[in-house]
């Protein structure tokens, strides 16, 4: 071995040891995540080091991190008075779910808003049509944020609506994720919107070349789906700006989503969430927009709170909200999620929920577009079934709706999955509401999923081959790094 080769080996060994030490020294890391990374680094030293440097920690670019913190503090202080004026009475929320609402209030930095109304869209196409109608009726501002925006029928409907709105004097601002919406951002449709006067921002753009280690982590994405129009109406749910046929992954279609429109003071909270992203990414001050009067509470409205989570949130914040809702359930809890890779506290909460006699139903897709997530999900089936959790696999396409309804009393709807990415990495948005009518409507939608699903029976699990069990259980060891 030449001297040059020896020096390279020594240099790599030093880097390898330093990266392992870094993985061990990171504060507030889940022990399973720490163990998974160390195992990956030991088993695959070359690839492991590169992977850790790229995606080992949920780091944001320093500029964005600092600006995000400053923006959140500024907006919270500027909007606190308006939010407090619309605060819902505490006794309007069932006592057993108040802890969950308090968690969301801490994340949103404002109280639960009272006097809201909502309507559930019939399906994905109806949701897009309702958005287009609201954009066409806009007189002041249109704010949109999507993770995936495709240049298909529904995607272009929204593009056309924005190109109609901006020339008539409506201020239109659009955030599209730099990876999820990359084809649109690079297309003529993006340029057409800019030429029409729409203000555009690609979220979390990925640095290239050696700068990749100085920018934002490449797989940390803005997964939010936010539409706010005229500070009057907002949309929240799992719907991307695309056709249900989802032509980039047609063999898993149709994508089955859920989307609701809200009116009332909760609109201002979603506006605040959009503004925090826009100000951090684009640098434009939107405090004047937020200073406008919040929508008036409706006398027959319900309490709701819109909140966001992300890598700048407290560790495990989204998991905490799920757990608090599970802890408040007394009779039943029904969950739909396309990606089920829970952290240890969430898995324990699901098992405990079923063990104390709460009918616990989990609905997941029978065929998932992520082979790793599908395998890891199935590895959790035996423990869940043994505790009494009923698991249903949906066969009507890829069930993409993220819903949680306990006791038909409150409901959670939004962009967050029950997986490690939503819990620890991605920017997500959700609305937690206390309304028997809306909870009933979302619960009925869940029933439609159950009618197209097959229940997983314990005897089915006994037929799994040893290689399959080995594969699924081995992948769970690496679930914190996927």
- 245-265 residue pLDDT tens: 998 888 999 999 999 999 999
Both tokens assigned to 321: 């909200």
Task: State residue 476's pLDDT score.
Answer: 66
Highest mean pLDDT among 5-9, 67-71, 129-133: 129-133
Top-confidence residue, 49 or 213: 49
Q: Could you give the CA distance from residue 403 to residue 414 in angstroms, rounded to a whole number?
A: 7
Q: pLDDT by residue (tens digit) across 388-431?
A: 999 999 999 999 999 999 999 999 999 999 998 899 889 999 99
CATH code matching the domain that covers 317-481, chosen among 3.40.50.880, 3.30.870.10, 3.40.50.2300, 2.30.30.90: 3.30.870.10
Ramachandran category for residue 93: left, alpha or beta (phi over 0 → left; psi -120 to 50 → alpha): beta
Question: For a pLDDT cut of 70, what percent of the chain falls above it?
Answer: 85
pLDDT at 475 over 80: no
Q: pLDDT by residue (tens digit) across 267-313?
A: 999 999 999 999 988 989 898 888 887 788 888 999 999 999 988 88
- Using CA atoms, how far residue 330 sits from 89, 97, 338, 365, 437, in Å, is 23, 11, 25, 26, 19
Residue range 24-50: average pLDDT? 72
Q: pLDDT by residue (tens digit) across 265-277?
A: 999 999 999 999 9
User: CATH second-level architecture of 62-101+111-303?
Assistant: 2-Layer Sandwich (3.30)
Do 62-101+111-303 and 317-481 show the same overall fold?
A: yes
Task: State residue 480's pLDDT score.
Answer: 57
How sure is the predictor about 232, in pLDDT bands with cuts at 50, 70 and 90?
Answer: very high
Task: State residue 81's pLDDT score.
Answer: 62
pLDDT at 154 over 70: yes
Active site residues per annotation: 223, 225, 230, 400, 402, 407
Q: pLDDT by residue (tens digit) across 318-333?
A: 999 999 999 999 999 9
Lowest mean pLDDT among 168-172, 322-326, 472-476: 472-476
- Using CA atoms, how far residue 190 sits from 125, 134, 162, 187, in Å, is 22, 21, 11, 6
In the chain, where the domains are located: 9-55, 62-101+111-303, 317-481
Residue range 187-193: average pLDDT? 98
Calculate the average pLDDT of the chain.
88
């Amino acid at each position: 071995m030449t001297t040059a080769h020896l020096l390279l080996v020594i240099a790599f060994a030093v880097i390898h040891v330093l990266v392992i030490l870094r993985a061990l020294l990171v504060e507030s890391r889940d022990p399973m995540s720490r163990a998974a990374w160390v195992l990956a680094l030991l088993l695959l030293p070359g690839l492991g080091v590169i992977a850790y440097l790229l995606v080992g920690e949920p780091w944001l670019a320093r500029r964005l991190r600092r600006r995000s913190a400053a923006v959140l503090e500024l907006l919270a202080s500027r909007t606190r008075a308006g939010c407090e004026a619309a605060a819902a009475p505490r006794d309007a929320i069932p006592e057993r779910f108040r802890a969950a609402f308090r968690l969301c209030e801490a994340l949103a930095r404002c109280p639960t808003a009272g006097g809201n109304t909502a309507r559930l869209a019939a399906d994905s196409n109806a949701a897009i049509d309702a958005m287009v109608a609201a954009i066409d009726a806009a007189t002041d501002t249109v704010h949109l944020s999507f993770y995936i925006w495709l240049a298909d029928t529904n995607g272009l409907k929204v593009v056309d609506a924005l190109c109609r709105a901006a020339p008539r004097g409506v201020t239109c601002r659009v955030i599209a994720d730099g990876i999820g919406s990359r084809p649109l951002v690079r297309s003529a449709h993006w340029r057409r919107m800019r030429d029409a006067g729409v203000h555009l921002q690609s979220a979390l753009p990925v640095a290239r070349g050696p700068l990749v280690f100085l920018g934002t982590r490449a797989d940390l994405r803005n997964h939010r789906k936010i539409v706010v129009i005229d500070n009057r109406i907002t949309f929240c749910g799992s719907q991307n700006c695309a056709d249900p046929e989802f032509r980039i992954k047609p063999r898993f279609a149709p994508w089955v989503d859920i989307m609701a429109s809200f009116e009332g003071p909760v609109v201002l909270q979603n506006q605040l969430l959009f503004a925090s992203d826009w100000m951090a990414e684009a640098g434009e001050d939107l405090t004047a927009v937020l200073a406008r009067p919040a929508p008036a509470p409706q006398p027959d409205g319900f309490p709701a709170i819109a909140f966001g989570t992300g890598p700048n949130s407290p560790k495990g914040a989204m998991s905490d909200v799920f757990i608090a809702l599970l802890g408040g359930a007394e009779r039943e809890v029904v969950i739909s999620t396309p990606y089920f890779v829970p952290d240890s506290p969430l898995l324990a909460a699901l098992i405990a929920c079923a063990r104390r006699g709460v009918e616990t139903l989990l609905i997941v897709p029978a065929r998932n577009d992520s082979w790793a997530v599908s395998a890891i999900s199935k590895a959790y089936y035996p423990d869940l079934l043994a505790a009494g959790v009923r698991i249903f696999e949906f066969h009507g396409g890829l069930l993409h709706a993220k819903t949680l309804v306990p006791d038909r009393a409150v409901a959670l709807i939004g962009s967050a999955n029950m997986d490690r990415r939503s819990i620890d990495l991605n920017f997500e948005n959700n609305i937690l509401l206390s309304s028997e009518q809306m909870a009933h409507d979302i619960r009925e939608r869940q029933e439609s999923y159950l009618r197209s699903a097959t229940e997983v029976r314990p005897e089915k699990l006994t037929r799994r081959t040893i290689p399959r069990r080995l594969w699924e259980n081995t992948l769970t060891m690496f679930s914190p790094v996927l």
